[in-house]
Amino acid sequence: MSQITEYIKDKSVLILGFGREGQSTYNYIRKHLPEKELTIADKNKPTVNDSKVSVIFGDDYLKSLGDFDIVFKSPGIAFLDDVTYPDTTEITCQTDMFLRFCKPTVVGITGSKGKTTTSTLIYEMLKHGGVKTCLIGNIGVPVFEMADEDEDLVAVIEMSSHQLEFTTVSPHVAVLVNIYQEHLDHYKTGFRGYVDAKLNIAVHQNTEDYLIYNPEQELEGIVDWEKVIKGNRKPVTFTDAKNDAFVNELWKSTNHLKGEHNRQDIAYALTVARIFGVGDDAVREAIKNFGGIEHRMEYVGVVEDIIWYNDSIATIPTAVMGAVKALGNVDTLLFGGLDRGIDYSDFIEYLARCDIRNLVGLPETGHNIIKALKEKGADKSFFCARDMEDAVKKCAEITQKGKSCLFSPAAASYNYYKNFEEKGRHYKAVIHSLTK
């Protein structure tokens, strides 16, 4: 029996949310505790063929938390003002349990944007350096998939704010790539709650641990680094990355890491690699073999003499502006998605003055931003699309031949899609259908 299941075996357990992580939690518990009574709660009725499982579903599925000793919360479920539970109920998640009870050394990476690229680069550098490693977490592989591994494994875990919200232990090596406004609809206290969740990656560290972070982030009055940092600080500023000859060599050696933000990501990853003793030749080989990240400034192809890029992972304005700058020849920007209360005023100013000729908006935020730009009298070509098919068709009509169309939403996808991956793949599928 694992330490996790030893801890929960005599407690009543609720698996809250039955998506990818919830199903993984169920499978892991069943592997070690095949006879344990479990309850699964989800807004939609969970489908599970198990006589020892009870299900709770419907609009009131969050009302019964107090009936259980332990709740394994899935990342996408928000606890707002209408969610209450007693102190006797322990809210946890896979990330928390892994950090508390599992043997592998953990490198945790979080941030608003750049965490997927940084996590993947760290994994590749460690792997090429001969370190036994895995890449799990928010990248798409639930951490319980590696929960029974031994201490000789270095687990590189991408951690979202949702996965960090209820963690009580921090990783041995923590990488905080950046913090911008995002997921404000998920937290009772808005940006403050989001920042506090992110900082859980470091606040429980000890003097033997490492925090890699950028002290140049504009977080004055929000983050007191002296109180956050308990272990070895490894600051990596934008200036450091720009002036590091080896970082620049790596950055210039690949076409898959365009943009200043990716140079910073390389610098973060290199700092981690050096903690684990990875040499420069192994790092060079890792960068050489790096094939880019799906949905992150992903080159889709040339269709209808237009260069198409998929950047659906860019759910905040800062990421969109970085992609536009990195690509350099964007003629049409397709953007928009779920309105989560983000302040778009700076983004609207940017769109009004940038060189992009065509702006195509998807519901909801795309339409709202285009309306604001029209009211400002911005000299652009505007189009409010009904859906992705309508949007891509318009992009194909108006984008100048030989130039780029970039899909970079600056918003979440949940108003029409399960996640940004589904939205990005739909975008690519519609592009490829243009030639049929």
At 245 the pLDDT is: 97
At 221 the pLDDT is: 67
> Do the beta carbons of residue 332 and residue 398 sit within 8 Å?
yes
At 189 the pLDDT is: 63
Task: Determine if the peptide bond prior to 35 is cis (ω within 30°).
Answer: no
Using alpha carbons only, what angle is made at residue 365 by residues 292 and 180, rounded to the nearest 5 degrees?
Answer: 55
At 291 the pLDDT is: 84
Sheet with 70-73, strands from edge to edge, namely 53-57, 38-42, 13-16, 70-73, 90-92
SS3 372: helix
pLDDT, tens digit (0-9, with 9 covering 90-100), for 235-272: 999 899 999 999 999 999 998 888 888 999 999 999 99
> Do the beta carbons of residue 336 and residue 363 sit within 8 Å?
yes
At 396 the pLDDT is: 97
- H/E element, 394: helix 388-398
At 79 the pLDDT is: 85
At 304 the pLDDT is: 92
At 228 the pLDDT is: 87
> Do the beta carbons of residue 315 and residue 344 sit within 8 Å?
no
At 78 the pLDDT is: 83
| Distance separating alpha carbons of residues 39 and 28, to the nearest angstrom | 14
State percent of the chain over pLDDT 70. Answer: 97
| Distance separating alpha carbons of residues 170 and 117, to the nearest angstrom | 21
Instruction: Please list the ranges in the chain whose pLDDT falls under 70.
Output: 81, 181-189, 218-221, 436
Using alpha carbons, select from 271, 138, 262 the residue that is nearest to residue 198: 138
At 114 the pLDDT is: 87
SS3 92: strand
Q: How far is CA 18 from CA 14, 61, 198, 414, in A?
A: 11, 12, 24, 17
